[in-house]
Amino acid sequence: MTSPQPYDRIAFVAGTSPEAQQALTELVNTYGNHDPADADVLVALGGDGLMLQTLHRNMRSGKPIYGMHRGTVGFLMNEYSRHDLHARLTAATDTVIHPLLMRATDIHGEVHIHHAINEVALFRQTHQAARLRILIDERERMAELVADGVMVATPAGSTAYNLSAQGPILPINAALLALTPISPFRPRRWHGALLPNTAIVVIEVLEGEKRPVAAVADHDEARNVRRVEVLSDKTISMRMLFDPGHSLEERILSEQFGH
């Protein structure tokens, strides 16, 4: 009796769109569907939003996740095909990513702890701009940033909101984080910074009662924060699978040349 292939047992998850649900039906009929706890690999059918949800839900499982594009935005997804899935999974390249850990303290002293795969962002809650103080590894680097907000983005998240805010695109294997301002007013010409992924970023909210600020880790929000600590959580390693020639490294490289 031969031993099973590494990715014999597949668990499928799908978005709510008709395209994703149709793909789910086709693939389950062809390959079956295992419980995620017993599966060798998770296959996500949808867009980048579903991929982020799947990564969050399985953050500590250690199971590889392979996405197929059946949604709106598919930067993190492979092309969809119902054929030769076992062969595609076996041939796929493995990319390991680490999430950000956000520890946000609000004005009442309550601590909110969340993980982010794309970015941790601070936003003004009212019409008034936020006033923020930035420390890197306990050293003040900016005494005052007046802006709509600021974010810390991972390489995996650098092509998402970070790119829309004119932040840099980071290769997925770069040991870097992007610190990017959101509509900065002062200093007006500050475009952000590249930080080692070992850095501990602390953002303190100045005049928080008058200028309230929210902190968001992907989709988890804490409001009226006064201090936010962000770091790369190396205790968690997530595995994403990509078809050869369509790895996240290649996608990020292509994005920088307008493809």
Q: Is 119 annotated as a binding residue?
A: yes
Q: Is 110 annotated as a binding residue?
A: no
Q: Is 93 annotated as a binding residue?
A: no
Q: Is 67 annotated as a binding residue?
A: no
DSSP calls for 13-70 = EE-SSHHHHHHHHHHHHHH----TTT-SEEEEEE-HHHHHHHHHHTTTT---EEEEE-
Q: Is 148 annotated as a binding residue?
A: yes
**Nearest Cα to 201, choosing from 144, 140, 125?**
140
- Residue of 8, 40, 48, 218 with catalytic role: 48
Q: Is 158 annotated as a binding residue?
A: no
| Burial class of 135 by CB neighbour count within 10 A (0 to 12, 13 to 18, 19+) | middle
Q: Is 153 annotated as a binding residue?
A: no
Q: Is 37 annotated as a binding residue?
A: no
94 labelled catalytic: no
Residue type, 157: G
Q: Is 71 annotated as a binding residue?
A: no
Token pair belonging to 195: 């930080």
Q: For residues 47 and 27, give the distance between their C-alpha atoms in angstroms, rounded to a whole number.
A: 17
Q: Are 72 and 50 in contact (CB under 8 A)?
A: no
Q: List, as residue ranges, the binding site for NAD(+).
A: 48-49, 118-119, 148, 156, 159-164
Q: Which residues fall in the annotated binding site?
A: 48-49, 118-119, 148, 156, 159-164
Active site residues: 48
